[in-house]
Amino acid sequence: MARRRDGSRGRRSSWLPLIFALAAVAAVIASRVALHRPAEVEVFFVRVDTAHHKGSLEAVRRPAPRGPVDARLDAALRGLLAGPGRRDLFTEIPPGTTLLGVRVEGGTATVNFSKNYASGGGSSSMLGRVWQVVYTATQFPAAPAVQILIEGRRVESLGGEGLLLGAPLRRPASPPSF
């Protein structure tokens, strides 16, 4: 900035400290607002295209606690078991299914369901319920894979068609339809 004939700088330099101070105050306010804003997770439910008789997944946002990934994953899965709360979506997870435990370790979310999870339904229902859990559980960068347990045990397959669950599952490159 050019100096005036009297050796002082123009008015702009006197505003600079005020501008920096206001920017700092705005940053503090924005960070506090972000801390009080509720966290959200995505919970995946089934939408059926009746014309083509195919199901697909749709995310619904639900509130979740801030903090460790295990707590957010637990909230997401409990939201999944609670159901979509919308008429245009439904769940393939059987009624009475309970979440017995969840943990994230080594890039894998381990999800333990009651035996009801494995009961009833045909191949489309089994695919839908597995993809609902896979997509809900793998939304966290710390858990790109999920291992589904039934009553604390790793089961090799689910349902009469033998949907394989023995190894951790990951999201496919493109969303599944079933």
The pLDDT value given to residue 53: 79
Residue 155 lies in a domain: yes
What domain count does the chain have?
Answer: 1
Please say whether the beta carbons of 151 and 100 come within 8 A: yes
Q: pLDDT 10s digit of each residue in the chain, 178 long?
A: 555 555 555 555 666 666 666 666 666 565 554 445 568 999 999 998 878 778 899 999 999 999 999 999 999 999 999 999 999 999 999 999 999 999 999 999 999 999 999 998 888 899 999 999 999 999 999 999 999 999 999 988 887 767 788 899 999 988 888 8
C-alpha Rg value of the chain to the nearest Å: 25
Report how far residue 62's alpha carbon sits from residue 142's, in angstroms, rounded to the nearest whole number: 19
Find, among 65, 76, 47, 55, the residue nearest to 143 by Cα.
76
Please report whether residue 6 resides in a domain. Answer: no
Tell me, yes or no, whether 20 lies in a domain.
no
Q: What is the pTM of this model?
A: 0.77
- Kindly write down the DSSP assignment for every residue of the chain, as one continuous string: -PBPTTS-B-THHHHHHHHHHHHHHHHHHHHHHHHHSPEEEEEEEEEEETTTTEEEEEEEEEEE-SS-HHHHHHHHHHHHHH---STT-B--SPTT--EEEEEEETTEEEEEE-GGGGSS--HHHHHHHHHHHHHHHTTSTT-SEEEEEETTEE-SEETTTTEE-SS-EE--SS--B-
Domain that holds residue 76: 38-170
Q: Which residue is listed with tokens 């960068």?
A: 141
Domain assignment of residue 75, yes or no? yes
- How many other β-carbons are positioned within 10 Å of the β-carbon of residue 120? 12
Let me know if residue 149 belongs to a domain: yes
Q: Classify residue 93: in a domain, yes or no.
A: yes
3 in a structural domain: no
Amino acid letter, 42: E
pLDDT at 52: 74
Q: Does 153 fall in a domain?
A: yes
- Burial class of residue 19, CB neighbours in 10 A (0-12, 13-18, 19+): exposed
Nearest to 76 by CA among 35, 37, 104: 104
